[in-house]
Chains A and B, each alone.
Chain A
Amino acid sequence: MDWQAIQLSLQLALATTVVLLLMGAPLAYWLSSRRSVLATIIESVVASPLVIPPTVLGLVILLAIGPRGPVGRAYESITGGTLPFSFAALLMASLLFSLPFAVQPMVAAFSSVDRRLIDASRCLGAGSMKTFLQVVLPLSIPGICAGAVLTFAHTMGEFGVVLMVGGGIPGKTRTASVSIYDAVQSMEYERALRTSLFLVSISVMALIVTAVLRRRATL
């Protein structure tokens, strides 16, 4: 089994989950508390990676972060380095691709918090930040966990986008799913199946965690 690739996938999935939770939570809270046209548009944009084919999204990202793309040019002028075929590029692509998986459960969780509790907190003198941190967030933990688990599992198995922006460099951008693809292409079906089995067990574990959280939420 390709442990190096699995380790890389784990790192990528973990980093994606942490960043998406930190960046996604404020976005999700904003989306759940606004009913404006802008919020609706942004919510749709956030969900769009669900319907864009991964290789298409990958190609668009590759063009954007390449030395001739806008993001790539800005990055080069600041750091002097290039973005494609690096872990940073993989992370950026994963963040975009997994965005709906993190944000949508959190939006659902935030909007299901009882409005009266928020009003009570505000009446008692707590600011909006304090209300969010001490009332809304604790009540939304199952939903946040669900978002985290879905993001993690989704990034673990992601293939098309990573293949396009990664360049399959062993130890650097060759994730477990790319390694499986390479093994299949080399007719090493046994190696491919072993790594696949590991990926599947991780995904099943993630689903079990989600199921447990669901029970807790309904109790």
Chain B
Amino acid sequence: MRRISKVIKALPSVFVVGLALMISAMMAYGCERSATNTAKRGKSSTDKAELSIAVASSVKPAMDAIVLAWAKVRPDVEVTVTFGASGNLYAQIVNGAPFDIFYSADTLFPEKLIEMNVGLRDSLRTYATGQLVIWAATATGLDVRRGFELLSDTKVRHIAIANPEHAPYGRAAREAITLAGVAEVATPKLVLGANVEQTAQFAQSGAADVAIIPLSLARTPRLGTSGAYWSVPQRLYRMIEHGVVRIANANSSSVAAEFDAYVAGPDALRMLEQAGLGRSE
């Protein structure tokens, strides 16, 4: 009895100590960050420019290659790339996250930022186009070339798509299922991933039999070697346009503009195309 009461008694104090630790850690981190920021800024005026990019995680493979290539063009610029869900990055930018430019997985978030005067109106453009594929792991023995007819197969019990409520690729997947005329059989089989990566994971782990995911994901080595994909015909869904916007009070606005010009150029376009984010195929 004494031991348990001791444990329970300790709970609130553990809570308070934990909270205090967390707050102090956050403060220390904040100080450190602003300290390095000012240190870097002080330096940047003399030798090195800085560029901070926020990128939707579905664009990661292409953006990694582009940033690497750009480092050869402008070796004097120190680039930091932050990957995340477009919605999370949007919320961070609205609340003052120090990004110079934002590569979203749709056009809605950049447009919202412009509406709020956080994004620069003239900087908005479509930098990539997403395409939809049906993907199945080799281990399932399913032939993805059967396309939407495959979704009606009784062997397919779970179909993973990203949550249509907030994921553009999820919305497109649902649209395609409806237009392909298999909504009635497919809808009860749907399971929803929080984002496209998780959706792919459902199918890769075998928990779901097939997944409807972006071509850019199906092309990654991880999924490319463990399964096969079938491109969903473009008449079945609205194109998933990826928008970019520069942030109004960015620290290095001119460098950001220069970087985006490179992303619009032929070298970067080829890399986007390779990653499955080309204008069309």
Contact = CB atoms under 8 A, between A and B. Distances in A.
Given A82-B158, A169-B192, A105 B206 contact: no
Contacts, number: 117
A15 interface: no
A213 B8 CA distance: 9
B5 A218 contact: yes
A38 B130 CA distance: 54
B8, B157, B165, B167: most-surrounded residue (chain A CB, <10 A): B8
Interface stretch (B39-47, B193-201, B239-247, B258-266): B193-201
Interface residues of B, number: 36
Contacts of B201: 59, 62
Contacts of A210: 8, 11
B193 A142 contact: no
Nearest to A211: B12
Interface in A2-18: none
Given A167-B202, A186-B165, A108 B4 contact: yes
Interface stretch (A42-50, A122-130, A177-185, A193-201): A177-185
A111 interface: yes
Contact of B9 (A59, A186, A218): A218
B89 to A, nearest CB: 11
A109 interface: yes
Interface residues of A, number: 43
A67 B90 CA distance: 37
B8 A182 contact: no
A158 B94 CA distance: 28
A112 interface: yes
B207 A85 contact: yes
B1 A113 contact: yes
Interface in A29-88: 59, 62-63, 65-69, 72, 82, 84-85
A66 B3 contact: no
A62 B160 CA distance: 14
27 contacts: A62-B205, A68-B206, A82-B157, A84-B202, A84-B207, A84-B208, A108-B3, A112-B2, A143-B4, A146-B8, A168-B163, A169-B191, A182-B194, A184-B87, A185-B87, A185-B165, A186-B87, A187-B90, A187-B112, A210-B11, A211-B12, A213-B8, A214-B5, A214-B9, A214-B11, A217-B1, A218-B5
Q: Which 6 A-B pairs have the closest CB atoms?
A: A167-B191, A112-B3, A185-B166, A84-B207, A143-B4, A168-B192
